[in-house]
Structure 1
Amino acid sequence: MKLRSLFVIALAACVCSAMAQKRKKAPKKAATVEAAATQIKPVGAEEFSYAMGVAQGSSLRDYLMKREGVDSLYLGEAIKMMQGNTPKQQAQLILAQAAGLKIAQMNDERVISEVNKAATGKSDTTYMSKEAFVRGLADVVLRRPHALREDSAQAIVERQFNFYKNKYKLENQAFLAANKQKKGVVTLPSGLQYRILKAGKGALATDSTLVEVNYEGRLTDGTIFDSSFKRGQTAKFKPTQVIKGWTEALKLMPEGSTWELYLPYNLAYGEKGTGSIPPYSTLIFKVEIVKVGAKE
């Protein structure tokens, strides 16, 4: 993990933005500008410097509170440090402590839950011990003696990840095998399964046809990962612009149809998954064909 301050970059962006806005508002009368330019007087260094601080103060306050997470009660402490009067050794200590706090916050808010998700499929589990995780980090960072080599540690981590992936893959395969036996479910040679909820009688799409649809996608445990129904807005795309299972299904569904699709992982997001969809996921979609030959 790399931590770096964005303060300078943020301020530079703010300065540029403010100047750009002022330029946009400036009148475009060349003659007037030229006449005024001859009358401009320089600003004293002290006055200019203070004015620059005031002009950028609101941006800095927002940056400290929104980007750095500084509570308004402690803005004064941030300003003390910013004034540069802290002895170098003390400043190094404070920087180290701030970096540690930042990493602790990242661990609590994101890292531990993401690792748990990859290792067990559940982000809210207590599988990974925060105390043991931090101890392992500390042993390497501080170069303390430890029995586990880094390559061995990586192998252990990968073993658990692979165990869960394989377990999840087998569970999803078992779901499809059981689903195949259910009344009304049709299984195609590709492995795509579907069940007709409402039969349509309209046109069929081809690879080049724009199709307007409503849909909802979920995992086998019922977790909904996407839904145009919830957004209240249909989606439009061609069969060639979507995952393999959809490409096949869209050309089979007449306009007016509503089907439930069951996509094995090789017709969906494969061995890697994407976003909130884990590797080897069977995906279940409720798809309604609103219009075949929709306008852009």
Structure 2
Amino acid sequence: MKSLFKVTLLATTMAVALNAPLAMAAEAKAAPAPTQPQQAPKNAAFKNEDQQSAYALGASLGRYMENSLKEQEKLGIKLDKSQLIAGVQDAFAGKSKLSDQEIEQTLQSFEGRVKTAAQAKMEKDAKENAVKGEAFANKFAKEKGVKKTKSGLLYKVEKEGTGETPKDSDTVVVNYKGTLVDGTVFDDSYTRGEPLSFRLDSVIPGWTEGLKHIKKGGKIELVIPPDLAYGKNGVPGIPPNSTLIFNVELLDVKPATAQTDNKTPQSAQTAHGKSAAVTKASK
């Protein structure tokens, strides 16, 4: 969800960018700055580059606001697009129907509504996801070869591998695919073409525990309950109370050394889409 602060910040930035030249008009007349030669427009629909740039700026702002309206609708808040456009036009014309104080008060009230609606939706989604996750786990538990640990982790070893079982302080190299119970893929190292390397105790509990059931060269399927993943809050791309399914291939195990024993590999600290789907959530 796009935050209200981002929306208002963009509006403020736009206002500064567009209105600053007007505030400096008097000085500009007295000492005009040298102008840059106009370049030919890149699109025949515009007479010059300034026109095209202005249109691009407006189109970018319009797309941003359109996406923001859609996000609000997901929360049950349906804003009137015609009034949004009217507000922009009136502001440019200096004919706002609201005073600065009324605008501030209205936006503060709106922000409160958004936060309340977002919290309600998160709680609703968490309850629904918990039910769906439990149903999926119960079905998976009945499959041949599936085992359940005391923590609630479900796993099925597809290939045991050879060598030593990884320890918490070891660095492991894996390929994996992560999905939600509805089949949505939220992370896939195979698609990226880049295995992930991390210290075993730097990731979500379901992984730290699960990978100890295979060795180098092994393959395992993990069904991780929310309390061993991201719990009631979730993370970007992973809704609250989600049960996660991972198919993991353990490519290598690198024992800890005196130099690396207390360090977490850089690759395990990267943003979502690379490894945040398995790294521990920030407290």
With the shorter chain as reference, the TM-score category is 0.5 to 0.7
Specify the alignment match of 1:15 in structure 2: none
Query: Would you tell me which structure has more helix in proportion to its own residues?
Result: 1
For residues 6-61 of structure 1, what are the alpha-carbon distances to aligned partners after superposition, in whole Å with 9 as ceiling and x for unaligned? 997xxxxxxxxxxxxxxxxxxxxxxxxxxxxxxxxxxxx99x935xx36xx78xx9
Q: Does 1:209 align with 2:185?
A: no
Contact 2:157 2:214 in 1 (8 A): no
Specify the alignment match of 2:127 in structure 1: 166
Q: Normalization by structure 2: what TM-score? A: 0.60
For residues 199-237 of structure 1, what are the alpha-carbon distances to aligned partners after superposition, in whole Å with 9 as ceiling and x for unaligned? 223221112211111111111111111111122222211
Work out the CA distance in 2 between the residues paired with 1:181 and 1:154: 41
Among 247, 257, 262, which residue is 2:218 paired with? 257
> Structure 1 residue runs of 4+, over 6 Å off?
135-141
Q: Does 1:175 align with 2:132?
A: no
C-alpha distance 142-202 of structure 1, shift in aligned 2 (>3 A)? farther
Counterpart secondary structure, 1:251: helix
Counterpart secondary structure, 2:45: helix
Q: Does 1:106 align with 2:78?
A: no
Work out the CA distance in 1 between the residues paired with 2:72 and 2:205: 29
Deviation at 1:249, TM superposition (A): 1.6
Work out the CA distance in 2 between the residues paired with 1:200 and 1:251: 11
2:68 counterpart letter in structure 1: V
Specify the alignment match of 2:280 in structure 1: none
Give the fraction of aligned pairs with identical amino acids, expressed as a percent.
Answer: 29
Deviation at 1:253, TM superposition (A): 1.7
Contact 1:255 1:291 in 2 (8 A): yes
Quick one: higher RCO (CA 8 Å, sep 6+), 1 or 2?
2
Work out the CA distance in 1 between the residues paired with 2:200 and 2:83: 49
Consecutive unaligned residues of structure 1, counting only runs of 5 or more, are 9-44, 66-70, 83-97, 120-127
Tell me the matched-pair count: 217
Work out the CA distance in 2 between the residues paired with 1:137 and 1:79: 23
C-alpha distance 115-252 of structure 1, shift in aligned 2 (>3 A)? farther
For residues 229-284 of structure 1, what are the alpha-carbon distances to aligned partners after superposition, in whole Å with 9 as ceiling and x for unaligned? 12222221110121111111223321121000011112112222112111111111
Consecutive unaligned residues of structure 2, counting only runs of 5 or more, are 1-6, 18-30, 88-95, 257-264, 266-283
C-alpha distance 169-201 of structure 1, shift in aligned 2 (>3 A)? same
Among 251, 258, 278, which residue is 1:290 paired with? 251
C-alpha distance 199-133 of structure 1, shift in aligned 2 (>3 A)? farther
Q: Does 1:73 align with 2:35?
A: no
C-alpha distance 230-154 of structure 1, shift in aligned 2 (>3 A)? closer
Q: Give the structure with higher Rg (CA).
A: 1
Contact 1:236 1:294 in 2 (8 A): no
For residues 179-211 of structure 1, what are the alpha-carbon distances to aligned partners after superposition, in whole Å with 9 as ceiling and x for unaligned? 223322111111111111122232211122111
Specify the alignment match of 1:187 in structure 2: 148
Contact 2:132 2:181 in 1 (8 A): no
Work out the CA distance in 2 between the residues paired with 1:213 and 1:75: 55
Deviation at 1:289, TM superposition (A): 0.8
1:1-296 equivalence runs, <5 A: 1=7, 2-3=9-10, 4-5=13-14, 49=34, 53=36, 73-74=45-46, 76=48, 78=50, 104-108=62-66, 110-115=67-72, 119=75, 132=79, 134=81, 155=116, 158-293=119-254
Contact 1:269 1:281 in 2 (8 A): yes
CA RMSD of aligned residues (A): 4.3
Q: Normalization by structure 1: what TM-score? A: 0.58
